[in-house]
Amino acid sequence: MSLKALPLTQSDVRLFSGRSNPDLAAAIASNLSIRLEETYFSRFSNDNLYVQLGATVRGRAVFIVQSLIPPVSDHLMELLMMLDIAKGAAAREVHAIIPYFSYARSDKKDAPRISITARLVADLLRTAGATHVMTMTLHSPQVHGFFGMPTDPLTARGLIADHFRTRQYNQEDTVVVAPDVGSAKSAARFADMLGLRVASANKTRVSDMMVQIGGLIGRQVAGFKRAVIHDDEIATGGTIEELCRLLIDNGLQEIYVTCTHGLFLRKALDRLVAIEAIKEIVTTDTVPQPKEDRPDKLIVLSTATVFSGAIRQNYYRQSIGELFDFGSDDQEE
C-alpha cells in the first residue's frame, strides 16, 4: 500500500479548526478520512475569549488549522489558546497548521522603535505549545528562520501550474511576470514548470494603496500577447492594478493574475475584475473566498490535498520534499 493510501488512526489523531477557515479544515479532514472535531468558542461579558476543545487529546497527535486573516488579532489569540489547551491536556505533539501567516510581512526593522512581529508571533506559537508549524508561501522566505521549532513552508505553485496546464494558449506569445524583485525567483520557477519565459518588474511602494513600477518591464514583454502575473499574495491590489496598466500600455491583450493568498481588501477584487484585459484571477483557499456572488473571473483552488499530504507524511515520519517550498528548482514539486 502506498503512503498516500495509508489512513491516519482516528483514535491517535485529533484535527481541530479555529473560526478563520473552517471549510479548508473540513476539506483537510475529508482528504485524511478523519473527523474534524468540535471546538467551542464564546466570550465572557468582559470580552475575554473562551475556547474549549471538544475531544480528548491526551497522548494524541493534534493538528490545529487556523489562518491569520482579519480580524488577525482575534484569530491569533484563538490559535494560541487552542495550542495551550492541547499542550496542557497532555497532547503528544501539537501541530499548528497556518495556511496564511499574515505577519510574514513584518520581517525586518526598517524604522525606529518597531517590532519584528513575525519573530514575535513565532516565539508566541512555541510558548503556547506548538511543536511543529506548517504554513504556505511565506511573504518573506527568511521568516522561516524565525521559528524555534520544525516549520514546513509548503507551496501551492504546483496546484496553480496544474490549473494553467488545462488552458489552451500559445507558449510563444505568453510570458510570466513577477510584480517585484522579491517574487522574481518564485515566478521563474513557476514559468519553468509551464515552459514559459519570465519578466520582472521593479516596484516602489508609495503608500498602502499606491505603488510605482519601473525597470525594463516594457522591453521584457515586447512581442508577447498574454501575461500571467505571479505573486504570493494580493492585499489591496494596488501593485497588480499598476502592473496591468503598464502591460496594457505595452501591447499585452490578455492578463491572468495568480496568487496563493487572495485577501482582496478595500474592494480590490471588484477593481481587478473591472479591468477588461484580466481574463482570470486564480487564487487558493488559504484565505476563504465567499461563495455567494463570486465573480466568474475568480478561480479558487483548494490546498486541502497539499496540507493533508503533508500531515500524512509528518504523521508517518516521511519526507515532504515534493510539497516543500525550497529555493532551488531541482527540489521543487
Which residues have a catalytic role annotated? 203
| Alpha carbon distance, N-terminus to C-terminus of the chain | 22
| φ, ψ of residue 249 in degrees (nearest 5) | -60, -25
- Pairing verdict, β 197-200 and 202-205: unpaired
Cα 254 off chain centre by: 25
- Pairing verdict, β 132-136 and 174-178: unpaired
Question: How many CA atoms does the CB half-sphere of 266 hold within 13 Å?
Answer: 8
> Are 85 and 78 spatial neighbours (Cβ–Cβ below 8 Å)?
no
Cα 120 off chain centre by: 20
Distance CA 157, CA 193 (A): 9
